[in-house]
Amino acid sequence: MDPENQRIEEDLRGLVEGDVRCDELFTQLYATDASIYELRPLGVVRPRSVRDVVATVQYAAENHLPIHVRGAGSGLAGESLGRGLVLDFSCYFRRMELLDERRARVQAGVVLASLNRYLATRGLLFGPDPAMSHVTTMGSVVAIDASGSHWRKYGSARRHVESLKVVLADGEVLEVGRHSVPRVEPDAGESCPVSRLDYLVQSVAGLIERYRPLIEASRPKSLVNRSGYVLDDVLQDRHVDLAKLLVGSEGTLAIITEATVTVDPQPMHRGCVLLLFDSLEKAANCVSELAPLAPVACDLMDRRHLNLARESDVRYELLIPGEAEAVLLIEQHGDTAEEVRAKLDAVVELAQYKTSLAATSHVAADEGDFQLYWGLARRFVPTLYRLQGTTRPVPCIEDIAVPLSALPVFLRHLQDALKQFQVTASVFGHAGHGQLHVRPFLELADADDVAKMEALAADLYEKVWLLGGTISGEHGDGLSRTPFIARQYGPLVNVFRELKQIFDPQGLLNPGKIVPAPSSRMTNDLRALVYQPVEAADGGERTATNGRAVEPATLQLNWHPQEVLEAARVCNGCGACRSLSPDVRMCPIFRYAPREEASPRAKANLMRGVLTGRLPRDELLQDACKEVADLCVHCHMCRIECPANVD
């Protein structure tokens, strides 16, 4: 271990009760998430209490070390990655409590699906439903203002957060919510001292009042927006809602340890219908036509998505004709089954008969059909990584949102841009509120494709801005979209900098997210790829210092080195193997010991680290490597249930 890392580890172990690791192998497990980026942190702290969080933050402040908060590591934009100290809340911050029939208190490490299983026993639910709800933690849900398919009914996390317990950049602990603006000035001095809470409230109120015209003029016209700091409704009636401000701030203003959230009754009855179209444009046009019927959810899937579903499950082959180019999945709720059926019949009548946009339709007859239809949206996005070839679906332009009326225009431009750049892509998303996830198929080990990725993103984002949309609807800015923040918001980005300065004067909380650095580009710090490992020609050590991949280590099992490379390549880091859901079986060891090193993803990250030279080859001979390897009993549940079939 590097002497500096060893000193930090020893220092922190004397300050916190939780786990502290600063060795190369362990930090490599935290170098990636579900994004295309890779940054190995200086160390990892898994706090057991708020006291541990405070001690870590104070130590980081004293030593000028950045802090990056992490949950399940399922982010698509590199929101939790960085070179400082990682605070992993997913291990010990897992308590939840139902306060009354409409509110719950949850710690940052509570898995969203676990919360909803707990609430379901009381007939309740937490409405926002991000795609990875079976692994994502509530701290992350709040930190990126997560939403999902059912935004039209439940909104995003912002709508549901009442108050937050947070740790500030200097280690002070506050409970924040909606606060009246104090009359004293924050710079009144010792003659009129103010509390830290009053200082923050007054400073935020003053900032918003000074720049209100700019804030209002810069607001996108799309129904959803999660880019930058959302300031337009934070100050109302001389009250500042600090909780609402911190929702979606990606850990850049304060560290969220607990949240009080509102919950909703589960729907009495629900149903859905599949609308099939012979063109993507017709599907997009149909979205606006259906808006008056107020669908609870309206998800769009394109031909590539449908073909994969048909190839993977015979039930979809029978359900979806080969000529279908797009599908809309519409969900409705009601107090009775008859009411739901009437709403779905109205959808079919309008889409298939009155407008003649949909070619055919399938109404879910029972709960089995309901789950089958929703499986199209929930199960098959990760399976895109199973496709053969060197190109992969890249989550680099995956969070666009435009006004509903502009959706057909944008999709036409998207198809033209893909032809211009000679790129294929998968298109899906929550069309009912104008949000699209675009995954171009690229080879990021190829410099030309890396340049093409940035150029394509810039082209599509320009069209999004022209249509009044936003580059981020629900997934946050992270490393992927922060470089484009200044282009979306113009001079408002300087207001973001002032806000960051109010909360985090040293700039230590998740730097490089939302507030862009001068050198910020979406192509920085890309994940190391291992397609064609070669020997170093200079006779030097085969590590990342020479910037080249290494020859695979000699394997003692009956597994060809290329298969190891393929497995490491196919794992995109989605984190599905961290699931605790009773509906799946992987991973039994992670269920027993829910820590990152116990997940199957950790083994892929370890092998990729060695094969790309990010880790010295002799790390495979260390006890730390054996500890990780021993957290596998070869049950093969990962190979069977991983969406990408990673072994």
Q: How far apart are CA 597 and CA 257, in angstroms?
A: 22
Asked if residue 520 belongs to a domain, the reply is no
Task: Give the pLDDT confidence score for residue 619 in this predicted structure.
Answer: 86
| CATH code at position 142 | 3.30.465.10
The length of the chain, given as a count of residues: 647
- Indicate the pLDDT class of residue 351, thresholds 50, 70 and 90: very high
Asked if residue 353 belongs to a domain, the reply is yes
226 with 141, same domain: the answer is yes
Which domain does 620 fall in, by range? Answer: 544-641
pLDDT at residue 287 greater than cutoff 60: yes
293 with 410, same domain: the answer is no
18 with 167, same domain: the answer is yes
Across 72-86, 405-419, 576-590, least confident range:
576-590
Task: Give the pLDDT confidence score for residue 192 in this predicted structure.
Answer: 61
Asked if residue 249 belongs to a domain, the reply is yes
Task: Give the pLDDT confidence score for residue 534 in this predicted structure.
Answer: 39
320 with 354, same domain: the answer is yes
Please, which residues have CB within 8 angstroms of residue 594's CB and are 6 or more apart in sequence? 90, 91, 578, 580
pLDDT at residue 594 greater than cutoff 80: yes
Predicted TM-score (pTM) of the model is: 0.93
Please, which residues have CB within 8 angstroms of residue 167's CB and are 6 or more apart in sequence? 50, 53, 54, 57, 173, 254, 255, 257
| Rounded average pLDDT over 500-505 | 98
| Rounded average pLDDT over 580-590 | 90
| Rounded average pLDDT over 427-452 | 95
Q: Are 385 and 392 in contact (CB under 8 A)?
A: yes
| CATH code at position 297 | 3.30.70.3450
Asked if residue 531 belongs to a domain, the reply is no
Count: domains in the chain: 4
pLDDT tens digits, residue range 452-482?
Answer: 999 999 999 999 999 999 999 999 999 999 9
41 with 182, same domain: the answer is yes
Please, which residues have CB within 8 angstroms of residue 544's CB and are 6 or more apart in sequence? 528, 612, 613, 614
357 with 423, same domain: the answer is no
Across 171-175, 213-217, 514-518, 567-571, least confident range:
567-571
End position of a domain, from candidates 343, 362, 380: 380
Cβ atoms within 10 Å, residue 209: 11
357 with 317, same domain: the answer is yes
346 with 435, same domain: the answer is no
339 with 284, same domain: the answer is yes
On average, the pLDDT of the chain sits at 92
Q: How far apart are CA 245 and CA 230, in angstroms?
A: 7
Task: Give the pLDDT confidence score for residue 188 in this predicted structure.
Answer: 53
Of 21, 59, 79, whose CA–CA distance to 573 is shortest?
79
Asked if residue 566 belongs to a domain, the reply is yes
pLDDT at residue 531 greater than cutoff 70: no
Helix (H, G, I), strand (E, B), or coil: what is residue 79?
A: coil
104 with 250, same domain: the answer is yes
Asked if residue 148 belongs to a domain, the reply is yes
- Indicate the pLDDT class of residue 186, thresholds 50, 70 and 90: low
pLDDT tens digits, residue range 332-348?
Answer: 999 999 999 999 999 99
End position of a domain, from candidates 454, 476, 498: 476
End position of a domain, from candidates 513, 531, 560: 513
| CATH code at position 458 | 3.30.70.2740
Please, which residues have CB within 8 angstroms of residue 474's CB and are 6 or more apart in sequence? 130, 144, 145, 146, 147, 148, 151, 156, 224, 226, 399, 401, 430, 435
What percent of the chain clears pLDDT 70, i.e. is strictly above it? 91
Q: Are 138 and 259 in contact (CB under 8 A)?
A: yes
| Rounded average pLDDT over 533-541 | 41
Q: How far apart are CA 619 and CA 617, in angstroms?
A: 5
List the structure tokens of 149. 């398919």
Asked if residue 146 belongs to a domain, the reply is yes
The b/e string for 629-640 (b: 16+ C-beta within 10 A; e otherwise) is eebeeeeebbee
186 with 273, same domain: the answer is no
Q: How far apart are CA 565 and CA 390, in angstroms?
A: 12
452 with 370, same domain: the answer is no
Asked if residue 414 belongs to a domain, the reply is yes
Q: How far apart are CA 144 and CA 160, in angstroms?
A: 13
